[in-house]
Amino acid sequence: MDKSLSLLILWLQLDCEVSTKQDVSQSPEALNVREGDSVVLNCTYTDSALYFLQWFRQDPGKGLTSLLSIQANQKEQASGRITVSLDKSSRHSALYIAASQHSDSTTYLCAVRHSTQREPVPSIQTADGAPTMSCLGAEETFSIKKISTLTFFPDRGN
């Protein structure tokens, strides 16, 4: 695992009071495409408590570069040749790359930021025994996983 990725995950888990495992899966794992073709990469997640979903690319020997993020209340975001869609009902996101170029050949990752609200829980104070209620707190976790490695082969002019 790349050091920058493991540090990111460690920092986010330490920031949370309680971390629950959230699954993120991607397809395809590897994809060979011809330059100029459109590309679709898929990301599915298991938790319905979604703040936002973010797509990254990671070039060999480098850290993560953010491509696009999409909030839970949005259906689509676009920037240049890249479009990200989100369907919360099916817990699915897709990264579309139009008119792919050789420079798009890299590893792509999907990260999902989750949040759940914890209900107030009564606790007993030891000093006078009076019941107290804890505050509502947000528990946040990120799930991130390598999605797809994209490699290109030259167009033979078919």
Higher pLDDT, 129 or 98: 98
Total residues belonging to the chain:
158
Q: What is the pLDDT of residue 12?
A: 28
Q: Which residues pair with 148 in a beta bridge?
A: 108
Are 7 and 1 contacting, i.e. CB atoms less than 8 angstroms apart? no
Q: What is the pLDDT of residue 21?
A: 45
Ordered by start, the domain boundaries in the chain are 3-17+24-121+134-153
What is the sign, positive or negative, of the torsion defined by CA atoms of 25, 52, 66, 78? positive
What percent of the chain is modeled with pLDDT above 90? 19
The answer, yes or no, to whether residue 146 has pLDDT greater than 70, is no
Q: Mean pLDDT for the chain?
A: 67
Are 102 and 154 contacting, i.e. CB atoms less than 8 angstroms apart? no
Q: What is the pLDDT of residue 47?
A: 73
Lowest mean pLDDT among 4-13, 22-31, 40-49: 4-13
Q: What is the pLDDT of residue 135?
A: 30
Q: For the chain, what percentages of helix, strand and coil (3-state, to nearest 5) are there?
A: 10, 55, 35
The answer, yes or no, to whether residue 115 has pLDDT greater than 50, is yes
Q: What is the pLDDT of residue 86?
A: 94
Model confidence, pTM: 0.63
pLDDT tens per residue across span 37-69: 898 999 888 877 777 888 988 888 888 889 999
- Per CATH, the number for 3-17+24-121+134-153 is 2.60.40.10
Q: What is the pLDDT of residue 137?
A: 37
pLDDT band at 20 (very low <50, low <70, confident <90, very high): very low
Q: What is the pLDDT of residue 111?
A: 83
